[in-house]
């Protein structure tokens, strides 16, 4: 079972790295089409790029899913049943949380959008704060003289 989990983690990490690499490229392209006029004009081009990337990833994803199912079957786990149970549980939980929130007068969509924008702003702020520190770390040099690296005894 531990081998199965390790292999699953390794496969998922490889898939995540591949998707992250291509998604970063897509984000750069989408950001270049950031204005409304460009976005509407380039919508078809973006769709083509996305379809192309999805077609490139499809065999990799199918391979990973196949390996997961094969390894899970060896461990006696039916992945399809687990997936359907998880999906139904998530669906039930989502609907119960939404209804409870709406009964209490919360605007769920507004709250979700606020959380997303707050997370985005926090990530941008963290990136801005980290950039000067990273630049200082890159510029920092190790001491060159022997005296600078020698430790002084405690008094």
Residue-wise pLDDT for 59-111, tens only, equals 888 888 888 888 888 888 888 888 888 888 888 888 888 888 788 877 778 77
Rounded CA separation 79/7 (Å): 15
CA distance 6 to 108: 38
pLDDT at 122: 78
In tens, the pLDDT along 111-124 reads 777 777 877 777 77
Distance between CA atoms of residues 59 and 79, nearest Å = 19
Give the per-residue pLDDT at 123. Answer: 75
How many separate helices (H) and strands (E) can be counted in the chain? 6, 0
Cα-flanking dihedrals φ and ψ of residue 106, to 5°? -85, 140
């Amino acid at each position: 079972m531990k081998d199965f989990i390790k292999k699953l983690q390794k496969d998922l990490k490889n898939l995540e790295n591949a998707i992250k690499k291509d998604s970063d490229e897509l984000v750069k392209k989408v950001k270049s089409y950031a204005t409304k006029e460009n976005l509407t004009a380039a919508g078809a081009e973006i769709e083509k790029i996305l379809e192309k990337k999805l077609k490139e990833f499809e065999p990799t994803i199918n391979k990973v899913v196949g390996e997961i199912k094969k390894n899970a079957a060896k461990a006696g786990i039916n992945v399809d049943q687990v997936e359907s149970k998880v999906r139904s549980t998530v669906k039930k939980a989502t609907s119960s949380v939404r209804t409870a929130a709406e009964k209490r007068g919360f605007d769920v969509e507004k709250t979700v959008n606020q959380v997303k924008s707050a997370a985005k702003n926090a990530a941008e702020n963290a990136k801005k704060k980290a950039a000067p520190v990273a630049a200082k770390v890159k510029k920092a040099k190790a001491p060159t003289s022997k005296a600078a690296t020698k430790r002084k005894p405690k008094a």
